[in-house]
Structure 1
Amino acid sequence: MTSATSLFSPVEADLCVLTENLKNLIGARHPILYAAAEHLFGAKGKRVRPAIVFLVARATMPDQGITERHRRLAEITEMIHTASLVHDDVVDESDVRRGIPTVHSIFGSRVAVLAGDFLFAQSSWYLANLDNLQVVKLLSEVIKDFAEGEIQQGLNCFSTVTIEAYLSKSYYKTASLMANSAKAASVLSEVSDAQTQHMYHYGRHLGLAFQIVDDILDFTGSTEGLGKPAGSDLKSGNLTAPVLYALEEKPYLEALIEREFAKEDDLEQALALVKDSRGIERSRELAATHARMAVEHLSELPISEPRQALVKLADYVLSRLY
């Protein structure tokens, strides 16, 4: 299986600079925020989102170096993503992410909420200073989409929804940032409108595949590998693709969900029903469809190492399942 580290080798130097810059941008003059920034940006995350920005920038400008505005866009993208994770962990009361303690479990919920707010505000400030109204609109929409996704998830807790509604929520929570930041990177490269749309759809389909795979791993992964307890989405009432597909085959699963796993062994029964259905298999097929569609939108790019890395990234997303 290709590792994310080797996959991002064309932009490895860019990502190293990004990590140091983020610590300095966030932590200046705020000792607690610096400690939180060290904790957040020192974590061994894969940096998928800023890597997409760098790869799109280099793929759309194959004969030139990327600009300082591209670099700042990548930093803004990671700030927005991290802010959303900090807030998610407070809402979900998660003590661990990527196998390490969350900000709110170390510093308390009050500091975590303020740190998330600060990251969103800081990203908005740097975004405005890019002096590109189209990019400002694209990334501002992402912040709005995060809130929309959280609200949808909260309102539909323990409620069965359609696959279309699930994909809509997945777009808001995950794919919007990948789609709009990929498009923004190409806008800064000053390529054609048609090419910026291709980059948007690449990020959109890749993001959907990424989220579907994450939701499958909640059933098939280990607690160690996930960095959180397996089955935690279902336990909290977040019904994802494997469950929604399983409900079509296993009617009793709906009764367990409706009573919110109130009886002993309800959750174990529900997990067994999902695994005994075609829910996981059909979810894999759905993820593969979106990964394939993402790659189709790269066909107009000139052949280059960064473009090849974007193609391999879609394969890597699916390979996490095996």
Structure 2
Amino acid sequence: MSYAMIRHLRRTAILSQQIRVESTMTNLTQEDFVFRPPMAQWSKIIREAEKIVGYPTSFMNLRWLLSDEFANLAMHLRKIVGSNHPIMKTAKTVLYNEQNNLQPWGLIILLLSKAISPSTHSIQTTTLIEHQRMLAELTEMIRTGHYIHRGLLNISVEEQDQKRDTSMFANKIAILIGDYLLVTANGMLARLRNQDLSYLISTALRDISEGEFFGPRDSQNMPLPGEPVNKNVDNFKINCDTIPLSVTDILGSPISEWTLRNMYNGGSLFGRGCEGAVLLAGKNVAEQKKAYLFGCHLCLAWQAASEISKFSTENQEPFSLVSAPVLFALNETPELYENLKNVKTVTSIDLNDLKAKISKTNAIEKTKRLYTENADKAKSYIEMFGDNESVNTIKRLINTI
């Protein structure tokens, strides 16, 4: 290991340690973003999966963590350590949290790639494996860059003078780091020289961007639930086509609204990443669409599992107002919506009181059914790619609760 790499590792370690201590001050409740399923034995299964793909996927982010550009940006974060800006919580998640930086999306894409790739050793096979690895890395980069961009803090004109040295500077750092990751990911995508793959990923980027403008928001651009409506049909259909996601008559219908929000949040990106791995392997369109649907439903299953865990009695983590339990509870008890419809900031809501009211409804049970439905669909699609070690490991990763 070179001296420069050691220096970068030391600087990143120092920064992450500072973030670990100080970022607990951040109390803004962001919209949840899927990172991993809440599994008790997650690390053990990850280690087994990494043996299959051939290397620890925690190394996948070293290309950008140890680059001069990112190291310089990361060091600027030291200037805002101790502030109450969401970027500190985001940086802690990206740089320090051992559970969250295992990069499960990239690992799933690599496992799927392993399941469909030829077992013979040749130059073509080696090139394919390298291209699929680049796809897994750039998918993770896009996800992380998007997550960092969402850590921006809206600052009113009246507050700009008094917060100029902290929040405004932190916003600039969040924009620069997010832009760096997104530009790097797009550069990797261009180097793959595959027009069809570039088109697939660009549609996912479109969905991510459109999601930032969907539904009501508070003053910090945090999402607020739609007004509950009574509908006989509440089932959002995931379309394999690359056309924009349908937003007609979605708000207020818990399953449809939740599914669309999470497709915007990352389901589309994860699905296209899985689809792209199959495309690179030269499989037909039908196989590619199966991979897309698998990725979408797996992402939704993990999201539902994560939200269920936050409503357990011992869990004190904040939860999103557009999580499935909240949306189901609002639909079941519309009067709960009266306390949310005129909210200016999510942080003004008593989440403990809302959690207690939600626990008196059937929202948690409905969310569990939502998880089961998506997990079963994800398993049915991945089983179409054969019975092998990679597929069996993915099936174990689907079973999260």
Q: TM-score range by the shorter chain?
A: 0.7 to 0.9
Deviation at 1:133, TM superposition (A): 1.1
Tell me by how many angstroms 1:10 deviates. 3.2
Alpha-carbon distance, 1:145 to partner:
1.5
Identity %: 23
* Aligned residue in 2 for 1:274: 358
Residue of structure 1 aligned with 2:387, choices 303, 310, 322: 303
Q: Contact 1:138–1:180 at 8 Å: present in 2 too?
A: yes
Match of residue 100 from structure 1: none
Structure 1 contact 11–54 (Cα < 8 Å) conserved: no
Q: Mark the CA change 1:135 to 1:154 in structure 2 (over 3 Å): closer, same or farther.
A: farther
1:79 and 1:119 in contact (8 A); partners too: yes
The correspondence of residues 283-322 of structure 1 with structure 2, limited to 5 A, is 283-316=367-400, 319=401
SS at match of 2:397: helix
Q: Would the aligned equivalents of 1:50 and 1:78 in 2 still touch at CA under 8 Å?
A: yes
* Correspondence for 2:336: 253
Q: Shift in Å at residue 118 of structure 1? A: 1.2
**Residue correspondence of structure 1 range 192-271 to structure 2 within 5 A:** 192-220=284-312, 230-234=317-321, 239-260=322-343, 267-271=351-355
- Name the residue aligned to 1:123: 185
Question: For 2:109 and 2:116, how far apart are their aligned partners in 1?
Answer: 11
Cα distance in structure 1, aligned partners of 2:197 and 2:313: 37
Counterpart of 2:13 in structure 1 is none
Q: CA separation in 2, counterparts of 1:245 and 1:38?
A: 32
1:109-166, CA deviations, whole angstroms, 9 ceiling, x for partnerless residues?
2111110011111101110111111111111222222122222155462533212122
1:24 equivalent among 63, 68, 89:
63
1:82 counterpart SS class: helix
Quick one: distance in 2 between partners of 1:21 and 1:241? Answer: 32
- Alignment equivalent of 2:262, drawn from 170, 185, 201: 170
Moved more, 190-199 or 212-221: 212-221
Tell me which of 48, 51, 76 is aligned to 2:107.
Answer: 51
After TM superposition, the score normalised by the length of structure 1 is: 0.81
Match of 1:159 in 2: 226
Q: Aligned partners of 1:21, 1:284: CA distance in 2, in Å?
A: 33
Alpha-carbon shift at residue 265 of structure 1 (Å): 8.2
**Is this contact kept in 2: 1:206–1:294, CA < 8 A?**
yes
2:329 and 2:57 map into 1 onto residues whose CA distance is 42
Which residue identity is paired with 1:294? A
| Counterpart contact for 1:174–1:208, Cα < 8 Å | no
Deviation readout 1:48-88 (Å, 9 max, x if unpaired): 11001100100111524661101111110111111111112
Instruction: Decide whether the 8 Å contact of 2:329 with 2:363 is kept in 1.
Output: yes
Alignment length, in residue pairs?
296
**Deviation string for 1:201-250 (max 9, x for gaps)?**
10011111122223333332755xxxxx623423xxxx222122112332
Q: Name the structure 1 match of 2:43.
A: 5
Give me the whole-angstrom Cα distance separating, in 2, the residues matched to 1:84 and 1:288: 28
The amino acid across from 1:7 in the alignment is: I
For 2:57 and 2:44, locate their aligned partners in 1 and report how far apart those are by CA, in whole Å: 17
SS of equivalent to 1:260: coil
Query: Deviation per CA, 1:264-291, whole angstroms, max 9, x where unpaired?
Result: 9854432221111000110110111011
More helix per residue: 1
Provide structure 2 residue ranges, at least 5 long, that are not aligned to the other structure: 1-38, 78-89, 156-165, 218-222, 228-251
Alpha-carbon spacing, 1:270–1:20, altered in 2? closer, same or farther (3 Å): closer
CA distance in 1, matches of 2:131, 2:206: 22
**Partner residue, 1:150:** 212
Sort the Cα spacing of 1:222 and 1:125 in 2 relative to 1 into closer, same or farther, 3 A: farther
Moved more, 121-130 or 30-39: 30-39
* Residues 74 and 266 (structure 1), Cα distance of their counterparts in 2 relative to 1, 3 Å cut: closer
Unaligned residue ranges in structure 1 (runs of 5+): 94-103, 224-228
For the pair shown, which has the larger CA radius of gyration, 1 or 2? 2
Amino acid at match of 2:368: R
Q: 2:283 aligns to what SS in structure 1?
A: coil
| Equivalent of residue 73 in structure 1, options 135, 151, 172 | 135
CA–CA separation in structure 2 for the residues paired with 1:204 and 1:34: 32
Q: How large is the Cα RMSD of the aligned pairs?
A: 3.0
